[in-house]
Amino acid sequence: MFGVIYAAVRKPLACVAAVAAFAAVAGAPSGAAAEQVIITVKKFHALDKADELSAGDFFARMRLGGKAAFSPVLTGQEEFSPNWKLTLPAKSGKNDVNLSLIDKDVSVDDPIDINRLPNKRDLDFTVNTKTCRIEGFAETYKCGQTITRAGSETKKASISFTVDVAK
C-alpha cells in the first residue's frame, strides 16, 4: 500500500487513485456522505429502586457497528425527560442497534431492565437507513415514531425514544 502512495507522489496524476485506494483500505467512506443513526431518549421512568442506599444515576448507551455513544448521567429523580441524542455513523442499509439504560455505580454499572422479554434487559433492533424502518419489536416503526418499552424484572424502567437517520 505504501508503495502505491510513494508512486503517486512521484506521479501526480496517480495521486487521486492512491488516495482513494488508501481510503478504501483504511475504511473511510468513498465519496458518499456518511449516514448516521440518531436515537433521542425522550423520557424514562424508574419503576422500582435502582440502588438500595441512594437515588439511581442513570445514563443511556447506544451501540452500532462496534462503536458506542453515551449520554450524560442524571440523578435524583424517578422520572426524567432528558431528550438525550445518541448518534453513531451507520452503513447504508440494515444496521443492528443496541440501546441500554444503565445505573452508574462506583464499582459495577447495573443495567436497568427496559425489555419486556425475560432475562433480557436491553433492546436490540435493526434500523434500515434506506427505508427508515425500525424492526425487531412486536411491530415495525418508521423514523420519528415514538417507541415505548418497559421492563418487568428487578431494577426496571419504562423508556420512550425515537430513531432517526441523517445523511
Tell me: do 7 and 66 sit in the same domain: no
How far the first Cα of the chain sits from its last, in Å, is 30
Per-residue model confidence as pLDDT tens digits over 107-138? 889 999 999 999 999 999 999 999 999 999 99
21 with 87, same domain: the answer is: no
Q: Across the strands, what pairs with 63?
A: 68, 98
Taking the model in full, what pTM does it have?
0.78
Number of independent structural domains in the chain: 2
Alpha helices, DSSP H, located in 2-152: 2-10, 15-26
Flag whether pLDDT at 45 surpasses 60.
yes
Residue for cell digits 431518549?
Answer: 41
Q: Is residue 140 predicted with pLDDT exceeding 80?
A: yes
3-state secondary structure of 76: coil
DSSP-based three-state secondary structure for 38: strand
pLDDT tens for 47-101 read 887 666 667 899 999 999 999 999 999 988 889 999 999 999 999 999 999 999 9
Q: Do 24 and 87 have their domain in common? A: no
Indicate whether 8 and 67 sit together in one domain: no
pLDDT at 22 over 70: no
The answer to whether residue 2 scores a pLDDT higher than 50 is no
pLDDT number for residue 14: 37
